[in-house]
Amino acid sequence: MDLGALAATVVAMLSSGAYLLGVALFKVAANRMEPLHGSHPFKLARQMLITPIWYAGGFLAAAGLALQWIAMSSLSLPAAQPAFVSGLVPLLLFATVLLGERLTPREWGCVALAALATLLVALSSTGFGSAGQPPSPWVVVALTLPALSLPVAMFNFGELSPIGVHARRPTGVAYGLSIGILIGTAELALAGIALFHDAGTPIMATPYPYLLVLAGALGIAQLQISLQRCRLAMIGVIATVTAKTYLLTVSLILYGYGWPGCRSVLLLVTGLALSAAALAAIPPYHDPPRPKQEPPPPPTNGPVQREPRRIVPKYSLARQASAPSAGSSHIGYEKFAFTPRSPKPDGENVRSRN
């Protein structure tokens, strides 16, 4: 299907937006699943199949891949690279506005650096030619076999990271790199189907459809696990930049695009170097900001008021008067006696001692 350059660019942008919005729904589905682990693949598949919102995300992701196939049929990969990355804009909006995720200034700087790298790659696309002849199936297998084994090892390394109350939350660099290489391999196979579907050889006789299914399934499984542990914004940025960088570099070797002039080569190399620098600058761990503690109340003026200590004596000294005896001229006298004290209400006859 041949489209004009403008129409193909719009289709490429729509494909990126649909695919990454599907990834956002995968994040929502991951929050509703039980804890996922790569060592339990059947439990992982079951959790995905019994979560209804996961099907909506899968539909959007599949629609994005279909639109990407249409765009690749009319645009060269270097020219389509910026359009394929443009879906990060709605993804970041979804993560920051709806999910409430927060990126540090360093992480925003990495995102800006990746955007600059994409712009340089787009400027270098004018010097590329069209794809050459289909490569040998053995060459395809030799180039993509490490891409299937390396991400599995990287993901297992991420699985060994410490967990628990005091474990630091990973940013998702290892997860994003492994997912990006797998998704990039699947897109590489999709590009081969788009470029050589009318070359005379049946598509099912080529390794492209099998490579697409295998790499895509592994990528989606690792993506679902990583979204349950890491932030959507960082996983989306790392995986997308890694996938598009891998797709571009390997396709230049595998599909024989005409080598550009000196200026385009300089822009391309600079863009790829900035993409690698953006990925390397992302911190490996994410420490969420601590909640602000309320300051203690100010001290009161003057001495500290203490409750007086009340002492209630057991006996009271009572004064008794005696009457004079009959026929005596003496005046009556007073005598004192200790009598038990009856309980008094609070506040009466209280002696305080500070």
Residues 52-68: tens digit of each pLDDT: 999 999 999 999 888 88
Tokens of 74: 């009319």
Q: Are strands 285-286 and 351-353 parallel, antiparallel or unpaired?
A: unpaired
Tokens of 281: 């600058």
Residue 38: pLDDT band with limits 50, 70, 90? confident
- Which range (33-42, 176-185, 307-316) has the least confidence? 307-316
The answer on pLDDT for 176 being more than 90 is no
Mean pLDDT over each residue of the chain, to the nearest integer:
75
Contact 134, 199 (CB under 8 A): yes
Distance CA 144, CA 51 (A): 32
Mean pLDDT of 94-112: 87
- Strand, coil or helix: 352: strand
Place of tokens 């991400």: 151
What pLDDT is stored for residue 306 in this prediction? 60
Contact 7, 57 (CB under 8 A): no
Instruction: Identify residue 332 by its one-letter amino acid code.
Output: G
Question: DSSP state, 51?
Answer: -
Distance CA 336, CA 102 (A): 84
